[in-house]
Amino acid sequence: MFINFWYAAATSNSLTNTPVKLTMLGQNFVLFRDSAGDAHCLSNVCTHRGGSLAGGKVRGDCIECPYHGWQFNGDGACTKIPSLGPVDGVSKIPARTKIDSYPVDERYGLIFVFLGDLPEAERPPIMEVPEWGQEGWRATVQQPGEWKIDYKRSIENSIDPAHNEYVHDTHGFSGANEDYRVHDLNLKETPWGVGFWNKMYSPPLAESKMRAESGRSAASFIDAGTGHHGPSSVWTHIHPTAKTFLHQYLFETPITENTTRLFLVTMRNFMGTDADDQRMMERNLYVAAQDQKALEDVEPVCTPRTNTHEVFMPADVPIARYREFCKAWEEKGWRIDVDRMIAGRGKVAYAIPSPARRASKGWVIDPVPLLPPGEGLKAAAE
């Protein structure tokens, strides 16, 4: 799991001024809206004596701890300590009471939070959904659920062209196609990931309206492209015909090292009714359940640190490249030391370091342990 990326925390329409407790990257957070409707994300651990902020209430623009009523604003600053009394309660608040607060960006029907301490100019961007709000495109936003997987396994699955033939009867032939092969991948790289386009021989869609609107009534080659952006986002563009486009954007959020929350934004330029939205989301869930079934059974659960215990084929090149990207982010010191984090569970409360930690000292909660550049890779090689 990596700090210093944006992660989807919740769907926009699910968040009100009732605080929500969320686990991401193995840490607990509170998410809430203030009186203006702006979303905030803070570390969930109260700096007084460890109360769970999400169990409290939103008072105006602040979150109130349920244990002794301390209040914190959206920036994580403590604004009230009731036990000090009405006057001293404000004037004597020590600076060390502050809590990590994370940048929030609401877009594409989702609430994204930046879990890391990089200043704004250095932050990797959120994966773009360029069709969002554009004429001729319809959007659905859904949560395929929480899966018992390491999110990296799912990202690797998404950029794996060879699994479609066997895992998905929607776009493959379950091994019945004698001429099956993965055609040469046309790889493309961005600063944040690798992607490719290739031709996929696919059956027509089973659902009658989708089949009619996709304009394809027989098995044929379709153009499809996919790629990852950062450690936990994937775009997949499927063009059933030269005019019908289905563009999907999957944002995965590690809950812990072996559980993952998924958010899926699907853009399409055909099937333009509300009933079609439903149809689309049902199909997405059908396909996602097939991936989930395959992924929840792989061993080991966590993506291996080296490729020596797996046998890669040319179709696995994007996955090998994804692992290299992850190593490069590890070399920046962005990878959480999961073993140390687990060893500390129940004994130490950690927080993902927020940008404010670069500007001020005196934080009560320890930052989550990170793998020093070089060290983790050395250990993996041994």
Please report how close the Cβ of residue 64 comes to ligand FES at its closest, in angstroms. 8
Q: Where are the alpha helices (DSSP H) in 50-104?
A: 88-91
Q: Which is nearer to Fe ion, 98 or 228 (CB)?
A: 228
Q: How far is CA 79 from the centre of its chain?
A: 32
Question: Where do contacts with Fe ion occur on this chain (CB under 5 A)?
Answer: 291
Q: Which residues contact 197 (CB under 8 A, 6 or more apart)?
A: 185, 186, 188, 223, 224, 225
What would the x/- binding string for ligand FES be over residues 68 to 97, using CB under 6 A? xxx---------------------------
What would the x/- binding string for ligand FES be over residues 28 to 67, using CB under 6 A? ------------------x-xxxx-------------x-x
Rounded alpha-carbon distances, angstroms, from residue 156 to 43, 152, 319: 30, 6, 6
- 224 vs 98: CA distance, rounded Å: 48
- 82 vs 92: CA distance, rounded Å: 11
From the list ligand FES, Fe ion, none, partner contacted by residue 67 (C-beta under 5 to 8 A by kind): ligand FES
Contact status: 293 vs ligand FES (CB under 6 A): no
Rounded alpha-carbon distances, angstroms, from residue 332 to 219, 356, 375: 46, 19, 12
Q: Which is nearer to Fe ion, 64 or 291 (CB)?
A: 291
Q: Which is nearer to ligand FES, 70 or 249 (CB)?
A: 70
Q: Which is nearer to Fe ion, 64 or 156 (CB)?
A: 156
- 120 vs 114: CA distance, rounded Å: 10
From the list Fe ion, ligand FES, none, partner contacted by residue 291 (C-beta under 5 to 8 A by kind): Fe ion
From the list ligand FES, Fe ion, none, partner contacted by residue 132 (C-beta under 5 to 8 A by kind): none
Please report how close the Cβ of residue 306 comes to ligand FES at its closest, in angstroms. 43
Rounded alpha-carbon distances, angstroms, from residue 120 to 106, 115, 117, 303, 358: 16, 12, 9, 30, 12
Element (H, E) at 256: strand 246-256
From the list Fe ion, ligand FES, none, partner contacted by residue 51 (C-beta under 5 to 8 A by kind): ligand FES
Which residues bind to ligand FES, rule: CB under 6 A? 46, 48-51, 65, 67-70
